[in-house]
Structure 1
C-alpha cells in the first residue's frame, strides 16, 4: 500500500497537491487505482472529485500536458522525458509532450546573489569587468546571466534556482512510490518498466541539478572535438564553477533563423546542415557520447560555416556493444535487410514475452513498404518512428538508453530539413555505417577480437574446477538455493490478506450478533428505549461491521 511506502509525513502536502491537480484534469480514476486517495483521506486531507466542464472536453494528451505544466519543474521535465518515449506513446501524445518547455518567470537576482558570491569568491562587480544582473534566460532549474572577464572574454553564468533541489527531491520520492504501485497494480505497465524509467529520470534530473556535471560534460565534448576546427565548444572557467554555479565562454552566433537570413550574413545553410549531421553522427557512432537536446536554440551557426553547441545539461551515452547494435540497425535499414533488422529487435526485446513470428511478419511488412523508395528518399525520422510503432504494437519497450538517441536523430533530421529542403539524413548515415562495418573486418580488428575471445575462453576453462568445487561444497552444506519468480504472487498475497481480514470481521460480526441476542434475553442492567443497552450496542456495532464488509466487497469488485 502507498501508505506504507510514503517515507516521510512532509511529502503529504505535495502528494495532496499532485492528486488535486490530477483529479481536476480528469485523472481521478488513476488516483483511486493507485490508492493515493485512501492515503490522503486517512491523513485527514479531503479531495474534491470534480473537474470543470471546460477541462473535461479536452483530449487526454492535452489534459495530461496541462496537468504536468501546473505541477511544476519536476513534472515538466518528466513530460520532456516522455516525449522521447516514442515506443510508449502514439504520435499525437508525443506532439503534446513536446510542447512542454522549461521557461519560467525569473526569480529576483537578490535571491541568487549569495550563491554567486560564494562560487566566484567575491562580488560580481569586483571579479568581472562587467556583470549584467538582468537574466539572459530563466529556466526551471537555473538562470543565465551575461558577464565579461577581466581579460575581455565574454562569458555566461548559469546559477541554480534557490530551493529547487528540495522540491525536486520530494517529487522524485513520490514518483518512485507511484512507479512501484504502477508495477504492482497495473500488469500492462510492466513491459515499460516504470520503476526503471523513474530511476533513469531521477539520475538525469540530479545530473541537471549539478551544474559542475554539465561543466564536465562540456570539457568531455571539447576533448572529443579538439582537433576539429569546424566545431566550437565553450570553454569552462573552473575557478568560478561549482555544483550551484558554472561560468562558461559565451558563443555568439545565429540560431533558429531562416536559411535566407543565414545567407544574408554570408553563411551556407546547405553546408551547415551537412556539417551538423556529420557532427552528431560522430558523437553517436564514434564517441558514444552525444548532445541529447540539439534543438535550434542549442545549435549556433558561426562565421566560416562553423557550428557551435551550448547547453550540455542533457547528454546521452552508449556502450560499445550498443553502438554496434545501432550500426547493425542502420546498416539493415540502408540495405533493406529484414533478417538483420529482426535480429536487432529480438536482441532489444530483453526479457519481454515475444511472438517472434508476428514480429518477423511486421518487420517484413515494414521493409516492403519502403521497397519502392530510392535510398535517398528514405527519411530516417519517419523510419525510426515506424520501428518504434512496430515495437509498441508487439508489446516491446525500446531500451532506455536508445530513447534519447532516437529522439536526437529525429530532431536532427528536422533541423537539417529546415536549413536545406533537399537534406537527406540517409546520405550522411550510409558513409558512417559503411566505414564502421569495414573497420570491423580489417585484419587488425579480427585479430583483436580473436585474442579477446581466446583469452575469455581460457579464463572460463581455468575457472571451471574451482567453480565445480565451490558448487559441490555448497551442495554438501545445504547452501544451494533455487529462486522461483512467481508472477503476481505479491498481488495474490495482498488479495489473500484482504480476504482474511474480511473473513475475520465476518466472524466477529456473527459473534456480536449471537452474543447480543443472548444479552437481549437477560433481565436487568442498563436499558435504552426499553431494550438492554449492551445488547443494542452489540447489534449496532455488528450493523456497521456488516456495512464495512459489504462496501469492501463492492469496492474490490470494481477493481
Structure 2
C-alpha cells in the first residue's frame, strides 16, 4: 500500500505540474494575443507561469473568504467572493500584460541570448571570450576606451590625431582581420575624417612565415595527394608571407614554373571568429555611440564580413582571374594575368603560373634603368587598364597596391591577387565615364548629373547648389596640378559629397578605393604623373568611343527593339483615347494610397488611435464609478458601482498597455 500511495502522490504531482504548464501556456497565449505584437515564447511562458501561481493563491484565499474560513482576513458572501475572484483574476491578467510590455520595452525580443544558447556553443563562447579579452586589452593598452566615445567631435583636432594613431596601432596588433577592416575603412572618405584615412592607409598585412611542414600538410590536404606527385620541386622558403596565406615557388613535372598560394591552417577559423566579434562590437557601437548610429557601423561590418569571406575562398579568386584575363585579352593594353590551374586549385589552395619580374614595391633597380618616356608609358598603361576595367568592362581589380603589380623583364605589367574584385552594373559604368568626360570638358551640369546618378541621392537635394559647388571645383583644377596633388582634389570632392549628404554605395566605394590605391603605385612608377589630368584624358577617350556613330547606332537599335511592343499597341490606344474624347467618355482614375506600405501605415496609426481613445475613455469612466460612492453595497464599505469601476479600469489598463506596446513596436520598425 505504501508503494501505491507514493506512486499516487507522484502521479498527482505530475498531473498537477502538467496542468500548471498547460495553464501557463494558455495564459501566455492569451497575453500575446492581447498585446498584439509577436513576443518571444520564453518570456511569455514565464509571465504566464507567474500569473497561474498568483491565480492559484487568489482562488484559495477567496474560497476561504466565501466560506468564512479567514480568521483575521476578508470574509464575504459566496456570491461576492465569486465577483471578487473574477475581478482579481482580471487584474492579475492585466498586471501580467503590463509586466510583458515593460520587459519587451526594456529588452526587445531577440536582444537577449536564447535559452538554448546556455546549453550549446560552449566552446565557441569560450573562444570568443578569450578573443574579446585579448582585443579589449589591446584597445585599453592603446587608450581607445576613452577616446572612441568622443570620435568625430568638431574642434578636437589634436584629440582626433591621437585617436587615429591609437586606432591604427590597435588594428595592426589585433591581426589580419582587423588590419583588413582598417584598410577597407581607409577608402571610405565619405565616412571618416581625413586624419583617420591617412593613418589607416599605412596598415600592412605582412606576417612571420608559417613552418613549411604545416603549409605542406595544408597543401596536400587540399590536393588529396603528395606534392611530389604533381611538382618536381617546391621551394620551402616562402616567396611572400601574409597573415592569411603564403606563396611558394614550385615546378610542375612538365617544367612549368608555378606558384602555390596556400591558406594558413586555422586562418579561416580565426577570421570567422574575428568577423563575428567585429559584427557584435559594431552592433554595440551602433546602439551606444552617436557616431556609430550615424555612420551605420553595423551595416558596414556586415558588408566587410561578406567581402572578406569571399576573399578567403580561392575558387572565387580563380573565377575573378579568368574574368579579368578574358577582359584584358579583348582590350587594348598589354597587361599580363597569370594562368591558373583549375584542376589543382580549391577553396584554400591556388596554383598559377609564376609571373616573371618584380613587384613595383621592390623594382627600384628595374625602374631606375628605364627612361622617363618608358616610365610614363608604363604609368599610362596601368591607369588606362584600371579605367578600362571600371568604365568599359565593369569588373576591376580592387587592390592595385605596389605589391600586386609586377614589372616583367620585357617592360610590361602584370597583375596579381584577385581576391578583392569589384563589379559595376552598366548604368554605374556609364555614370562614372560621363563624370570623367564632363570633368574633361569642364561641363559642371553634366558632371553634376553623373554624380547624382552615381551616388544615392539624398532627400531635399538642391541640384543647383551642387552644380555651383562642383563647377567651382572644376574651375580650380581645370589646368591640372603638380604630381601627387590629385589627393587634394579627391579630398575636396569627398568633402562636397559629404556636405550635400550623399551616401556612397559599396561598389562605388570599391571603385574609388581602386583609384585611390593605384595612385600610390603610379607615383612609384612615374612620380611626375598628374593622375587627375591623365584620368580625365583617358576617361574622355573611353567615353568618346561610346559616342562614335557605330556605338550610337547599336545603342539606338537596342532602344528601338525595346519600343517595338509599345509602338504596336500605340495606334489602338490613341484611337480609343480620341473616341472617348469625342463622345465625352474620357476620364482619369487616381487611386489614393495605392501602395500597400501606405495603407499599412495608416491602418496601424488609426488602430493605435482607436485603442488609445478607448483606453482613455475606459479609465475616465472607471475613475468616475470608483469615486461615486453610489449604488448598492456589496459589503459594509464596497459599492457595486466601485466594483464595476475596477472592472472597467481593468479594460482601460489592458487597452493602454496594448497601445503602449504598439508605440514601441512602431518605433522599432521605423529604426
TM-score (norm 1): 0.72
Partner of 2:387: 281
How big is the shift at 1:364?
3.6
Partner of 1:4: 112
1:152 equivalent in alignment to 2:258: no
Describe the shift of the 1:285–1:58 C-alpha distance in structure 2 as closer, same or farther (beyond 3 A). Answer: closer
1:498-546 deviations in whole A, cap 9, x for unaligned?
Answer: xxxxxxxxxxxxxxxxxxxxxxxxxxxxxxxxxxxxxxxxxxxxxxxxx
For 1:168-317, list aligned pairs within 5 A: 168-186=271-289, 188-190=291-293, 192-227=295-330, 230-256=334-360, 261-262=366-367, 264=369, 268-317=374-423
In structure 1, what is the Cα distance between the partners aligned to 2:310 and 2:521? Answer: 26
For 1:56-75, list aligned pairs within 5 A: 59-75=162-178
Partner of 2:144: 27
Partner of 1:430: 540
Describe the shift of the 1:239–1:443 C-alpha distance in structure 2 as closer, same or farther (beyond 3 A). Answer: closer
Partner of 2:77: none
1:381-413 deviations in whole A, cap 9, x for unaligned?
Answer: 543332112112333332211122112223334
For 1:330-345, list aligned pairs within 5 A: 330-345=436-451
In structure 2, what is the Cα distance between the partners aligned to 1:209 and 1:242? Answer: 11
Partner of 1:115: 218
How big is the shift at 1:85?
0.8
1:482 to 584, 600, 610: 600
Describe the shift of the 1:482–1:185 C-alpha distance in structure 2 as closer, same or farther (beyond 3 A). Answer: farther
Paired residues of 1:278 and 1:428 also in contact (CA < 8 A):
yes
1:366 to 465, 473, 484: 473
Describe the shift of the 1:254–1:359 C-alpha distance in structure 2 as closer, same or farther (beyond 3 A). Answer: same
Partner of 1:407: 513
1:258-306 deviations in whole A, cap 9, x for unaligned?
Answer: 6773363799222212222222122111111111111122111224432
**1:445 partner SS:** helix
How big is the shift at 1:103?
0.6
Partner of 2:183: 80
1:287-333 deviations in whole A, cap 9, x for unaligned?
Answer: 11111111122111224432211111111111111111101211221
In structure 2, what is the Cα distance between the partners aligned to 1:169 and 1:434? Answer: 46
**1:133 partner SS:** coil
Describe the shift of the 1:456–1:171 C-alpha distance in structure 2 as closer, same or farther (beyond 3 A). Answer: farther
Describe the shift of the 1:374–1:454 C-alpha distance in structure 2 as closer, same or farther (beyond 3 A). Answer: farther
In structure 2, what is the Cα distance between the partners aligned to 1:122 and 1:289? Answer: 35
In structure 2, what is the Cα distance between the partners aligned to 1:416 and 1:27? Answer: 35
**1:423 partner SS:** coil
**2:358 partner SS:** coil
In structure 1, what is the Cα distance between the partners aligned to 2:550 and 2:163? Answer: 48
1:444 equivalent in alignment to 2:526: no
How big is the shift at 1:223?
1.6
Describe the shift of the 1:395–1:452 C-alpha distance in structure 2 as closer, same or farther (beyond 3 A). Answer: same
**2:414 partner SS:** strand
Partner of 1:398: 504
Describe the shift of the 1:104–1:190 C-alpha distance in structure 2 as closer, same or farther (beyond 3 A). Answer: same
Partner of 1:521: none
Describe the shift of the 1:158–1:374 C-alpha distance in structure 2 as closer, same or farther (beyond 3 A). Answer: closer
How big is the shift at 1:150?
0.5
Describe the shift of the 1:363–1:189 C-alpha distance in structure 2 as closer, same or farther (beyond 3 A). Answer: farther
In structure 2, what is the Cα distance between the partners aligned to 1:202 and 1:429? Answer: 32
**1:156 partner SS:** strand
In structure 1, what is the Cα distance between the partners aligned to 2:563 and 2:470? Answer: 32
Please report the RMSD computed on the Cα atoms of aligned residues, expressed in angstroms.
3.8
How big is the shift at 1:114?
2.4
Describe the shift of the 1:399–1:448 C-alpha distance in structure 2 as closer, same or farther (beyond 3 A). Answer: same
In structure 2, what is the Cα distance between the partners aligned to 1:123 and 1:378? Answer: 50
For 1:478-557, list aligned pairs within 5 A: 481-483=599-601
1:384 equivalent in alignment to 2:490: yes
In structure 2, what is the Cα distance between the partners aligned to 1:342 and 1:440? Answer: 27
Aligned residues: 454
Paired residues of 1:159 and 1:246 also in contact (CA < 8 A):
yes
1:97-123 deviations in whole A, cap 9, x for unaligned?
Answer: 111111111221222332211233322
**1:433 partner SS:** helix
Partner of 1:44: none
In structure 2, what is the Cα distance between the partners aligned to 1:219 and 1:88? Answer: 33
Structure 1 regions of 5+ residues with no counterpart?
35-55, 460-470, 487-559
In structure 1, what is the Cα distance between the partners aligned to 2:262 and 2:201? Answer: 25
Describe the shift of the 1:180–1:381 C-alpha distance in structure 2 as closer, same or farther (beyond 3 A). Answer: same
How big is the shift at 1:188?
4.8
In structure 2, what is the Cα distance between the partners aligned to 1:158 and 1:429? Answer: 35
In structure 1, what is the Cα distance between the partners aligned to 2:323 and 2:185? Answer: 27
In structure 1, what is the Cα distance between the partners aligned to 2:336 and 2:301? Answer: 34
Paired residues of 2:458 and 2:502 also in contact (CA < 8 A):
yes
How big is the shift at 1:343?
2.6
In structure 2, what is the Cα distance between the partners aligned to 1:440 and 1:284? Answer: 22
In structure 2, what is the Cα distance between the partners aligned to 1:458 and 1:5? Answer: 61
Describe the shift of the 1:288–1:67 C-alpha distance in structure 2 as closer, same or farther (beyond 3 A). Answer: same
